[in-house]
Amino acid sequence: MVASAPAFAGGALRVVDVTGQFDRFAMSTAEMPDAQRLAAFEAQVGPIADGFYARDRRPSHYDLRILANLRTYPERREAEETLRESEENKTFAE
């Protein structure tokens, strides 16, 4: 999961990889009740990447989107990790 918010910081694109933080949060809170998990997500993950996951950035159906992504993340985890590793191993021509 890569975030770029704000898109331009100081005149340059700022890209922040939040995969590790999302992974740790999703896996460590899997047994939490939904309301508690959502509140913890807003407090711990919401501020990351200049508020990329903040409720006020995209308030419409926020609770449903966040909970759906947290619930389905374990099923997607291996594929996302494989993709991230392959992206990290790419070299870019200058």
Q: What is the pLDDT of residues 14-57, one digit of tens each?
A: 777 788 888 999 999 999 999 999 999 999 988 887 777 888 88
Tell me the whole-structure pTM to 2 decimals.
0.69
Percent of the chain with pLDDT over 70: 83
Total domains in the fold of the chain: 1
Residue 92 lies in a domain: no
Mean pLDDT (whole number) for 49-73: 87
- Residue 35 is part of which domain span? 20-82
Has residue 69 been placed in a domain?
A: yes
Q: Is residue 9 part of a domain?
A: no
Q: Does residue 87 belong to any structural domain of this protein? A: no
Domain assignment present for 7: no
Instruction: Give residue 19's pLDDT.
Output: 83
pLDDT at residue 9 above 60? no
- Distance from C-alpha of 40 to C-alpha of 59, rounded to nearest angstrom: 17
The answer to whether residue 14 is domain-embedded is: no
Query: Mapped to the 3 state alphabet, what secondary structure does 37-89 carry?
Result: HHHHHHHHCCCHHHHCCCHHHCCCCHHHHHHHHHHHHHHHHHHHHHHHHHHHC
Residue 39 counted as domain residue: yes
Q: Does residue 61 belong to any structural domain of this protein?
A: yes
H or E stretch at 21: helix 19-28
pLDDT at 5: 47
